[in-house]
Structure 1
């Protein structure tokens, strides 16, 4: 995916999984932006779906189902198809972010609740559909190694919460030596982080990372901005750009303006 450095003078380091950068790479092909793929996470299917398939066979036990990510929707939809299970219509469906909502609606043609802004668990549960949860059963569809925040909030409201974990999320380290070589001739460096969990992992593993270079961070949540600004490596921050729109066009516009 990486092109010759001499043809580019702006680096965009993407920490998203490789497959999420394919369209972005095509968009940047004839631009002066070098897209560098250094994922902080990798997504893999489970080795055994017996537990998850059992949950899918009993979806009618739940009053709410919440999807954490587009990966959660995609693996969920694949298993439903394999098992030939139809999605119940009498359940309330929610998602953390708008892209996940879009993928859900495209797959199932259902109504999906989602925060209007500030796409996180805390803002999702402010919706009135979560006002009376005592005794309600809620399924959270997600990957392994996720945060416990949403489950804790829902249980505090009296809900019974299960996880439907349908993929593996592994955290990766950035190859610092390789990256430093790739960016050595770049005059401007942008780094894209689109997951709070990835930001935490980055913060824990990058204390001395590129300490001599100033970086413009592009993030999709104020919580990531706050984490970066209060981190041990805040000195390498040029600026943090917060945007809800991580489309290829939006990213290119942000880079050109900053």
Structure 2
């Protein structure tokens, strides 16, 4: 394990504030790591709107957090009284990592998929099947799929979205990737969101060469996105985009790569 990734050059594209743990794990396994955050997480400008909606938090009986970022930015926007109200609600988390971040802040997620991290996994929970009369507030980043809210409404709930952060394509220079590729110092790129993959292409002006570089993605949906935009090389799939699952998938790929 300490040398499982020895000699490999791996690009980590997580947002900067979430990349440290993954980078450390890869370096401990012997890899050379390049950080290239292709998604930037930022607060929204509509703080007055967020505050107004949070003032109505007691009108809900359930709060669902889409992601760890939704937890962090949602809690940052709350005052002490609103956090106290949150403790009285049924809390849902889309995935164990999100539930873990809630727990780190002193909150317990009651609705969490045992496996998986998608809206579909959350919607498969027994607790989300019959929701007549439920008033649900969903904390999320700006934009995203409507599947979660639409399905919860079909099951009887009153659902409101609260956007508490935004994801943007950062203004960074990624041109050095081509040099690394030419020098054979670019073995695999790790991707943890479809949006990040699309941002990578935008930052590089969508060249053909990048589409031959091996990828590690965190879901089947990311795989589908990669193939749709023209990636033809090896694409490995982790069980989820969390650090541990991505690390294990990389080790498995490295064993085949170096065989």
TM over 0.5: yes
Distance change (3 Å), C-alpha of 1:177 and 1:204: closer
Question: Structure 1 length as normaliser, TM-score?
Answer: 0.80
List aligned pairs for 1:59-98, cutoff 5 A: 59-81=57-79, 85-98=83-96
Distance change (3 Å), C-alpha of 1:185 and 1:10: farther
Report the counterpart of residue 169 of structure 1 in structure 2.
167
Offset at residue 167 of structure 1 (A): 1.5
Task: Give 2:236's match in structure 1, choosing from 235, 240, 246.
Answer: 240
Distance change (3 Å), C-alpha of 1:37 and 1:251: farther
List aligned pairs for 1:43-192, cutoff 5 A: 43-81=41-79, 85-172=83-170, 175-186=173-184, 189-192=187-190
Distance change (3 Å), C-alpha of 1:141 and 1:209: same
Do 1:143 and 1:165's aligned partners in 2 also have CA atoms closer than 8 Å? yes
Range 192-201 or range 121-130, more displaced: 192-201
Task: Give 2:218's match in structure 1, choosing from 199, 217, 220.
Answer: 220
List aligned pairs for 1:18-57, cutoff 5 A: 18-29=16-27, 32-57=30-55
Do 1:40 and 1:173's aligned partners in 2 also have CA atoms closer than 8 Å? no
Do 1:191 and 1:218's aligned partners in 2 also have CA atoms closer than 8 Å? yes
Distance change (3 Å), C-alpha of 1:31 and 1:187: same
Report which of the two has the higher share of strand.
1
Cα distance in 2 for residues equivalent to 1:84 and 1:154 = 24
Question: Structure 2 length as normaliser, TM-score?
Answer: 0.80
Q: Deviations over 1:4-30 (max 9, x none)?
A: xxxx95221222111222233344447
Over the aligned positions, Cα root-mean-square deviation in angstroms equals 3.0
3-state SS of 1:138 partner: strand
Cα distance in 1 for residues equivalent to 2:84 and 2:156 = 28
Report the counterpart of residue 207 of structure 2 in structure 1.
209
Do 2:238 and 2:249's aligned partners in 1 also have CA atoms closer than 8 Å? no
Distance change (3 Å), C-alpha of 1:77 and 1:254: farther
Distance change (3 Å), C-alpha of 1:199 and 1:155: farther
Cα distance in 2 for residues equivalent to 1:239 and 1:86 = 45
Cα distance in 1 for residues equivalent to 2:139 and 2:67 = 8
3-state SS of 1:163 partner: strand
Do 1:105 and 1:112's aligned partners in 2 also have CA atoms closer than 8 Å? no
Report the counterpart of residue 193 of structure 2 in structure 1.
195
